[in-house]
Structure 1
């Protein structure tokens, strides 16, 4: 089976003896959290630093999902890797893959996905925790960039599927911010128009507890390329609030 190795990182992996599946499967590292388990399988994430550069190494065994691509099941990292490549081809800013491979051994299906660490970037969750300490200009720039990011995803006819604060990473860029996404496992084509778009955005607003109506309007204004007081923003706000109230009541 052919493994994927990003050419920009091949020499670095080779110098450290980590340019193949078996080496990445065997390397001893500390997990960053408790493994996920499902259906007798497991999936775990590790931090790895090589020559001053940071990576996240993800390994899983018998941690499978059924998709149209693989109706009998495949490692969830295989789906995420395809989506990483799709986002790159579409120009949607997201995490970058360095290595991907999968193996079948007796009684086991293994997969490895290595991605570049987003060092110097901050997830929106952490920025929301310090929201009152940010300047109004910083707050406005962050909200606007989140709206523009959602617009880019949906303009490419994709649904992220987990558009949560912990999956949106931002980095200061002059007077503004840049944003990109992680966790592309649930990305799928946008098929149902506004319904899919509302469903994708609403979880972000439900979890962004530091935001009030002004921030939501600013995000929608950037997303829709409309003034904050436009009728289209009003309509979207009403629909999002309806869905948020319905989800909150469950």
Structure 2
């Protein structure tokens, strides 16, 4: 695979000596958190600011994912990059790739994924931490945005696989909110209908424990495009509650 460099940022990165794999690999930056050292390798995330524009630079060494199609493994960023591009093609709001490349260097498998920073957006976890400080209209707007995002995702037959509050980013938009997704590595096609949809949604509701029953109804109403008191909303609420109880008892 040849390196990918988004046309919109090419001039900016090249002007600052950041337009190639080697240049991005050699750039000295402070990691935003501790490296992930699973899978026999390492994966690190860095903040990169260039002429007032923010990016996240992710670098991996021998951090491989093995699948039936790739039994010898590939950098997990390769799968995430493919999914970013798929989301873009399908019109699912998600983070945007700026650069992607892979190299074999001295027996090491290296990969880089550069994405635009979501400056001005809050992850849902941050909003949940101050949920009791939000007004009723703002809470409703957040719930509707999350429900519509899930509907859009499942409507084009994709399962996120990690539909957690920390992976849903929102920002105010008029009287409502815009929402988009990050961390697309585990995305896969929706194969098993309602079972896949319930499995994808339930972790969000389990982690958003501050939501009461009526708030969950609001999210499901937006997801199903139904009134909050619809029988279909009742049915989905029962299925999700049953799965949450089952998961909690394990």
Give deviations 1:15-41, integer Å, cap 9, x for gaps: 110000011111000000111112320
1:28: which partner in 2?
28
Q: Return 5+ residue gaps in structure 2 as ranges.
A: none
Task: Tell me the SS of whatever aligns to 1:59.
Answer: strand
Using the alignment, how far apart are the partners of 1:6 and 1:69 within structure 2?
A: 27
Please give the TM-score of this superposition, normalised by the length of structure 1. 0.98
Using the alignment, how far apart are the partners of 2:157 and 2:32 within structure 1?
A: 33
Deviation at 1:228, TM superposition (A): 0.9
Using the alignment, how far apart are the partners of 1:209 and 1:22 within structure 2?
A: 44
1:121 aligns with 2:121: yes
Using the alignment, how far apart are the partners of 1:136 and 1:73 within structure 2?
A: 48
Using the alignment, how far apart are the partners of 2:195 and 2:39 within structure 1?
A: 32
Deviation at 1:168, TM superposition (A): 0.2
1:166: which partner in 2?
166
Give deviations 1:55-100, integer Å, cap 9, x for gaps: 0000000000012442221000000000000000000000000000
Deviation at 1:210, TM superposition (A): 1.3
1:39: which partner in 2?
39
Using the alignment, how far apart are the partners of 2:199 and 2:99 within structure 1?
A: 32
1:175: which partner in 2?
175
1:137: which partner in 2?
137
Deviation at 1:106, TM superposition (A): 2.4
Using the alignment, how far apart are the partners of 2:141 and 2:154 within structure 1?
A: 20
Please give the TM-score of this superposition, normalised by the length of structure 2. 0.98
Using the alignment, how far apart are the partners of 2:121 and 2:225 within structure 1?
A: 26
1:243: which partner in 2?
243
Using the alignment, how far apart are the partners of 2:127 and 2:175 within structure 1?
A: 16
Deviation at 1:142, TM superposition (A): 0.3
Q: Return 5+ residue gaps in structure 1 as ranges.
A: none
Task: Tell me the SS of whatever aligns to 1:38.
Answer: coil
Task: Tell me the SS of whatever aligns to 2:43.
Answer: strand
2:190: which partner in 1?
190
2:152: which partner in 1?
152
RMSD: 0.8
